[in-house]
């Protein structure tokens, strides 16, 4: 199978329903942000020991991408148990926070390589959330609000993971100080 199809040479791309849309369509902005987030997670996995959990999440992000690419109109592509996945992220966060010292300052991205990559992924995740909210508010598209909720919770998970990675390595989070 060839990697290139030439079907996008006219500035359009297809979704899972076979519809052609301009590549600058909001749908493709969301899908691109999802793809970038997944690439960042590969960096996180390469820098720390949670690669099994990261791989689970990367696969779930593919599930979310399929749902979004099908505009949630084809049940074959709707992501399973979003609410359960949100609950699992919350449990993961609670488990990590239980081991962390109380957060009393704003922190800056930094510290260990794993923490830095988790912060980068968090920033991409926040951008994804903004583009998803725009898609959610565009009535010509359909996006389930619980998918946006998962992305919101996942950015919290990434922030907590960044702190946890520094703490588990004995590295202090860089503290923000007003200049």
Span 107-121, pLDDT tens digits: 999 999 999 999 999
> What confidence tens digit (pLDDT) does each residue in 33-53 have?
999 999 999 999 988 766 689
2 located within any domain = no
User: Where residue 32 sits, what CATH number does that domain have?
Assistant: 1.20.1200.10
Give the total number of structural domains in the chain. 1
Confidence of residue 21 (pLDDT cuts 50, 70, 90): confident
142 located within any domain = yes
> What confidence tens digit (pLDDT) does each residue in 67-107 have?
999 887 778 888 889 999 999 999 999 999 999 999 999 99
Mean pLDDT of 62-71: 91
Confidence of residue 66 (pLDDT cuts 50, 70, 90): very high
pLDDT for 22: 75
7 located within any domain = no
> What confidence tens digit (pLDDT) does each residue in 114-142 have?
999 999 999 999 999 999 999 988 866 77
126 located within any domain = yes
Contact of 63 with 79, CB cutoff 8 Å: yes
Dihedral of alpha carbons 129, 67, 38, 83, sign: positive
Element (H, E) at 20: strand 20-22
84 located within any domain = yes
H-type alpha helices, the chain:
26-47, 51-69, 82-99, 113-137, 145-168
- Report the distance separating Cα 49 and Cα 120, nearest Å: 17
Tell me the whole-structure pTM to 2 decimals. 0.91
The residue segments making up the domain with residue 156 are: 26-98+107-168
156 located within any domain = yes
Residue with tokens 């791989």: 55
DSSP letter at 174?
Answer: P
15 located within any domain = no
149 located within any domain = yes
pLDDT for 100: 97
């Amino acid at each position: 199978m060839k990697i290139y199809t030439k079907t996008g040479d006219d500035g359009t791309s297809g979704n899972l329903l076979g519809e052609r849309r301009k590549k600058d369509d909001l749908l493709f902005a969301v899908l691109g942000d999802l793809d970038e987030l997944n690439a960042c997670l590969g960096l996180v996995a390469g820098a720390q020991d949670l690669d099994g959990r990261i791989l689970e999440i990367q696969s779930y992000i593919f599930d979310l991408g399929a749902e979004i690419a099908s505009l949630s109109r084809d049940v074959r592509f709707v992501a399973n148990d979003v609410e359960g996945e949100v609950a699992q992220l919350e449990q993961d966060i609670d488990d990590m926070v239980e081991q962390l010292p109380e957060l009393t300052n704003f922190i800056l991205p930094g510290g260990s390589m794993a923490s830095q990559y988790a912060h980068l992924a968090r920033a991409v995740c926040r951008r994804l959330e903004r583009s998803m909210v725009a898609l959610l508010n565009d009535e010509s598209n359909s996006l389930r609000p619980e998918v946006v909720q998962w992305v919101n919770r996942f950015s919290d998970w990434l922030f907590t993971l960044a702190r946890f990675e520094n703490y588990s390595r004995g590295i202090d989070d860089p503290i923000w100080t007003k200049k």
